[in-house]
Amino acid sequence: MMQGSLSLAVGILALAPVLAAADEEARALLERVERAVETLNYEGTFVHIVDGQVDTMYVVHRYHDGVATERLVSLDGPRREIIRDEEEVTCIFADEKSVLVERRKQDGPVRSAIPRSTDQLDDYYSFRMFKPVNKLGRAAAVMAVMPEDDLRYGYKLWMDRETGMLLKSQVLDRYGKVVEQLIFVSLELPDEIPAERLKPSIAAEDFTWLSQDEGSRPLAPSDEAAWRAASLPSGFELKARNKGRMAGRDTPTEHLVYSDGMASVSVFIDRADVESVAPEGPSRIGAAHAYTTRVGDHVVTAMGEVPLTTVRMIAESVELRQGGAGIP
C-alpha cells in the first residue's frame, strides 16, 4: 500500500513540470491571439451562433499606423452595417433608415469572443491544451480557459499557429455546454487593406441620426461614487464608471463596470420612470445574462457574459451610498 502511494506521489511530481509548461503555452497563445485580432489586417465571413440563431457577418479589419478600424456587414436578416474605430461606433440600420453613433470605444464581436489575459487569471481560471487540428486549411492550436467556480464562463479557442489569428471561439457553461460560438468560414490575411474598404455601402445621409449625449463622461473608479455594488463575486472589482445620457433618453444613466480581469459585468442605474428600462427579473441572450431590480425610485440592471447567479448577486447588492444623490 505504501509503495503504491509512493509511486502515485512520484508520478504527480513528474507530471507537475508538464502541466506548468502547458499553462505557459496556453497563456502565451491567449496573449498572442489577443494581439492578432487587434493588429492584423483581415477580412472574411463568420457565423455567430446564439441559442440556435445563426447570424452571418462579413468583417473587414484594418490596422494602420497603430489604429484599428473595422467594418461589419450583416449578410442575413435586417440590413445593417457597423463601422468601428477607437473613438466611436456607428451603426447603420437600412430597413429602419436610422443611424446610431456611440462615442466610446467598444469591442467588436471578434474581439469579444476572446477572454482577456491578465495576472488574475491564475486565481480563478485554469488552462488546458488540446491536440492541434486543421481549420480553414490552417494548422490550428486549440486551448481552453476554464473557471474554478460556478460564477464565470469558460472559453475554448482555435487559432492559427502561424499568425495567432482567431479561427473559432466557444463560450462554455459550467457543464461544458456551448452557449455561444463564433466561427470563421472564410478568412484572408492581406498585408494591406485600402481605407476605402472601411466605407459603408449604405447611403445614410438622409437617415435619422441618433448619438450618445456629448455630456456623457467617464469617471475614475477611485472617485467616491453615489452607487456601488456591496457584494461582489471573488476577484471582481470596479474597473470603470460613466455617467451620461444614452441615445434616445432624456435622463442620465449611471454605468458601472465590474471585472475579474476576464469576465465583465455592466451595471446600469436609471430613474424608475424611464419608459425604456427593462422589466424586473432575469433575461438572457446567448451567453449574456441580465437581471433587473428596483432600488427605491431607481431601476438597476446588471448584465454580462456570466452565469445568471453572478448578475443577480451583483444587481441585488447595488445600493445608494449614505448621503449619495440619486439620478435627477
How does residue 7 score in pLDDT terms, banded at 50, 70 and 90? low
Asked if pLDDT for residue 10 goes beyond 50, the answer is: no
C-alpha cell at 130: 488540446
The class (CATH top level) of 19-198 is mainly beta
Ordered by start, the domain boundaries in the chain are: 19-198, 213-320
pLDDT of residue 110: 93
| Of 122 and 20, the one with more pLDDT | 122
Indicate the range of 36-50, 99-113, 252-266 predicted with least confidence. 99-113
For range 87-110, the mean pLDDT = 86
pLDDT of residue 225: 62
Q: How far apart are CA 263 and CA 288, in angstroms?
A: 11
Residue 323 pLDDT greater than 60, yes or no: no
Is the CB of residue 193 less than 8 Å from the CB of residue 60?
A: yes
Strands (E), 11-103: 42-50, 53-64, 67-74, 80-84, 89-93, 98-102
Q: What pLDDT does residue 184 have? A: 98
Alpha carbon distances (Å) from 58 to 17, 131, 308, 325:
43, 29, 31, 45
Question: What's the chain's average pLDDT?
Answer: 84
- Dihedral of alpha carbons 220, 225, 228, 234, sign: positive
Q: How confident is the model at residue 176 (pLDDT cuts 50, 70, 90)?
A: confident
Question: Which superfamily does CATH assign the domain made up of 213-320 to?
Answer: MucB/RseB, C-terminal domain (3.30.200.100)
Average pLDDT for residues 233-240, to the nearest whole number? 90
Provide the terminal-to-terminal Cα distance of the chain, rounded to the nearest Å.
72
Residue 4 corresponds to which amino acid? G
Q: What is the pLDDT of residues 262-315, one digit of tens each?
A: 889 999 998 877 665 667 899 987 788 999 999 988 999 999 999 999 999 999
> Which pLDDT does position 325 carry in this prediction?
53
